[in-house]
């Protein structure tokens, strides 16, 4: 039997969390996924992660969480990431000594699944380690495990960097899914080597917004060049973007990929 995985893009704020809570039961009934993953770096009012917001999504049925450049914006995240049993990982190519781990192995029945979180360097302000070399290191670390699937969340800005890593890892991982830009791309596909790929999944966030943020403040910044506090709409229509894919556990190759794009009124 194929492993069936549902992966939500960046969940932004309360409206995004509420949308996942509302739509996930329907998606589970329809798709019957073995594993549900979400990028959680924006779940706490659009910036960072808290214990309460993470638990809300876990209670809704999300099994595991990845993150990105906002992983440490809330102080609570350090304690969450330091917990050995945490359902949250942060990008693996943060410098050595940073709290948490960037890859985690867990079991679904008799099958072992490795989830890896990486972050890009192009157009991002921090000086992260090389995601390409870090991916090599992690795959080498787990090479003796009998893995059924390897899933990568690549949290990156540049489409070229995302496409580059996808081609670099093609055939060595089951899926590499882009997050961060909040804008979904229409290039979901299975690459020649059997890796499921999309440049960016897109967000779970307010539809009438600018990347999930209230449009008024963002427009004012564009017009005046004066920074405004980012406010996250808490009600209205929420865009839900996710990727569903299936992996043959014997070959670790993807055999199906599908875009999920829904709208939920909150």
- Give the Cα separation of 135 and 64 in Å (integer): 19
- Do residues 204 and 19 lie in contact, with contact meaning Cβ atoms separated by under 8 Å? yes
Q: Angle CA(185)–CA(58)–CA(251) in degrees, nearest 5?
A: 55
- Give the Cα separation of 259 and 220 in Å (integer): 33
pLDDT tens profile 122-151:
999 899 999 999 999 999 999 999 999 999
- Do residues 34 and 108 lie in contact, with contact meaning Cβ atoms separated by under 8 Å? yes
Beta carbons within 10 angstroms of residue 261's beta carbon: 12
Please identify which of the residues 70, 155, 180, 182 carries the catalytic annotation: 70
Taken in order 84, 85, 90, 92, the sign of the CA dihedral is positive
- Give the Cα separation of 212 and 231 in Å (integer): 9
Q: What is the pTM of this model?
A: 0.97
pLDDT tens profile 182-216:
999 999 999 999 999 999 999 999 999 999 999 99
Q: In the chain, what are the domains?
A: 3-205+237-265 (3.60.21.10)
Q: Is 70 a catalytic residue?
A: yes
Where are the extended beta strands (E) located within the chain?
A: 3-8, 35-39, 64-66, 103-108, 111-119, 147-155, 175-179, 189-190, 196-198, 204-206, 237-248, 253-265
Instruction: Report pLDDT for 116.
Output: 98
- Give the Cα separation of 71 and 141 in Å (integer): 24
């Amino acid at each position: 039997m194929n492993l069936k995985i549902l992966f939500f893009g960046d969940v932004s704020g309360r409206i995004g969390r509420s949308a996942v809570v509302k739509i996930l039961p329907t998606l589970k009934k329809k798709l019957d996924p073995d594993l549900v993953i979400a990028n959680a770096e924006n779940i706490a009012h659009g910036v960072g992660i808290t214990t309460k917001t993470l638990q809300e999504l876990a209670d809704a049925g999300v099994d595991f969480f990845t993150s990105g450049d906002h992983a440490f914006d809330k102080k609570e995240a350090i304690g969450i990431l330091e917990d050995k049993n945490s359902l949250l990982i942060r990008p693996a190519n943060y410098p050595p000594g940073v709290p948490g781990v960037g890859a985690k192995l867990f079991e679904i029945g008799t099958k072992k699944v490795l989830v890896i979180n990486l972050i890009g360097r192009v157009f991002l302000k921090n000086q992260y380690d090389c995601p390409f070399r870090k991916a090599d290191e992690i795959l080498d670390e787990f090479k003796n495990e009998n893995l059924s699937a390897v899933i990568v969340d690549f949290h990156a800005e540049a489409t070229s960097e995302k496409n580059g890593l996808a081609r670099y890892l093609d055939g060595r991982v089951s899926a590499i899914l882009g997050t961060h830009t909040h804008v979904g791309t229409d290039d979901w596909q299975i690459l020649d080597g059997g890796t499921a790929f999309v440049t960016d999944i897109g967000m779970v966030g307010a539809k009438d917004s600018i990347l999930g943020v209230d449009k008024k403040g963002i427009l004012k910044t564009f017009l005046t060049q004066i920074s405004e506090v980012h406010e996250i709409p808490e009600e209205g229509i929420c865009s839900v973007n996710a990727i569903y894919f299936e992996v043959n556990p014997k070959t670790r190759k993807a055999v199906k990929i599908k875009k999920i794009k829904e709208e939920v009124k909150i």
